[in-house]
């Protein structure tokens, strides 16, 4: 973390879990467990239909509402899709794009991820852009090359002013939901490289202002070590964000010096 230049962000990704009827109780429990003095932004990215509840009940405990996906289209005949305008209208502050589960199960391409990020920026929603290599790529020493490609593709056509409003999440696919975490050194190495790519594209001032998160089996036990790394500015947390006490404990780790 480096609080001098950028925000620390602890974002939960509920994926397709929880119910709208449970949002209020979850936030009450989270509030009880979270430190009063916080040094990070706290976000919960929830299924779109739970966003209004997250906005309503999250105010009281300063938890921002995030979504998990958005349409690249502005509006029109796209049955089942949700636009950035609709998300903004109900108070969505962040939205994940390019999660590996969407890339894999919904065949999302790098150019689609880029279009979605732009659609969000146009409505002042912060895109949390996910990148990450497969186990095969890591074993073949292709991690840096692939991550560089993904970051460049995701940011194509996004200007320096806008990129300051983007969050990048490094989520190695082999660490997602597996209980296998990248070591703090492995995660730092890639997050540092992501910042180097942003520096090459936009210059040093912009690069030091962009928050880069780590995601992949981050939990109450390993968060402090990961967050102690200079280029890891927070976490994108799946499983552990479903339990108020665990998520609160990660927020506490991110609030310590
Ligand atoms: P887990 O924390 O469950 O590994 O999930 C990480 C993730 O995919 C967050 O987007």
Atom of ligand 1 nearest to the CA of 96: 10
The confidence score (pLDDT) of residue 179 equals 78
What are 85's two structure tokens?
């305008």
Pairing of strands 94-97, 126-131: parallel
- How far apart are the CA of 217 and the centre of ligand 1, in A? 6
pTM over 0.85: yes
Between vectors from CA 50 to CA 44 and to CA 53, what angle results, nearest 5°? 85
**Residue whose token pair is 């609030």:** 255
The confidence score (pLDDT) of residue 36 equals 87
Which residues in the chain land under pLDDT 50? none
**Domains of the chain in sequence order:** 9-15+23-254 (3.20.20.70)
Atom of ligand 1 nearest to the CA of 239: 3
For ligand 1, pick from 43, 236, 243, 247 the residue to mutate: most ligand atoms within 8 Å of CB. 236
Ligand 1 environment, Cβ below 6 A: 13, 99, 171, 176-177, 215-218, 236-240
At 131-181, the pLDDT tens digits run 999 999 999 999 999 999 999 999 999 999 999 999 999 999 999 988 788
Backbone angles phi, psi at 47, to 5 degrees: -55, 145
Sign of CA dihedral 174, 234, 244, 130: negative
Protein residue with its CA nearest to atom 7 in ligand 1? 238
Q: What residues does 42 pair with on adjacent strands?
A: 10, 63
Backbone angles phi, psi at 234, to 5 degrees: 150, -165
């Amino acid at each position: 973390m480096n609080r001098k230049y950028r925000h620390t962000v602890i974002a939960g990704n509920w994926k397709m879990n929880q119910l709208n009827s449970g949002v209020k109780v979850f936030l009450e429990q989270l509030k009880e467990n979270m430190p009063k003095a916080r040094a990070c932004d706290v976000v919960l990215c929830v299924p779109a239909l739970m966003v209004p509840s997250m906005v309503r009940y999250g105010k009281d405990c300063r938890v921002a509402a995030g979504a998990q996906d958005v349409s690249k289209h502005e509006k029109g005949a796209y049955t089942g899709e949700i636009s950035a305008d609709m998300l903004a209208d109900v108070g969505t502050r962040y939205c994940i794009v390019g999660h590996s589960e969407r890339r894999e199960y919904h065949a999302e391409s790098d150019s689609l991820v880029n279009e979605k990020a732009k659609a969000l920026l146009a409505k002042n929603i912060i895109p949390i852009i996910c990148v990450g290599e497969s186990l095969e790529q890591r074993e073949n020493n292709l991690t840096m090359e692939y991550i560089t490609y993904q970051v460049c593709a995701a940011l194509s056509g996004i200007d320096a002013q806008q990129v300051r409003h983007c969050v990048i999440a490094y989520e190695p696919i082999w660490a997602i939901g597996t209980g296998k975490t990248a070591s703090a050194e492995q995660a730092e190495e890639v997050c540092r490289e992501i910042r180097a790519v942003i520096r090459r594209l936009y210059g040093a001032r912009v690069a030091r202002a962009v928050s880069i998160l780590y995601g992949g089996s981050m939990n109450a036990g390993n968060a402090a070590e990961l967050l102690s790394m200079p280029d890891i500015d927070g976490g994108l947390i799946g499983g552990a964000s479903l339990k108020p006490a665990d998520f609160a404990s990660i927020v506490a780790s991110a609030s310590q010096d």
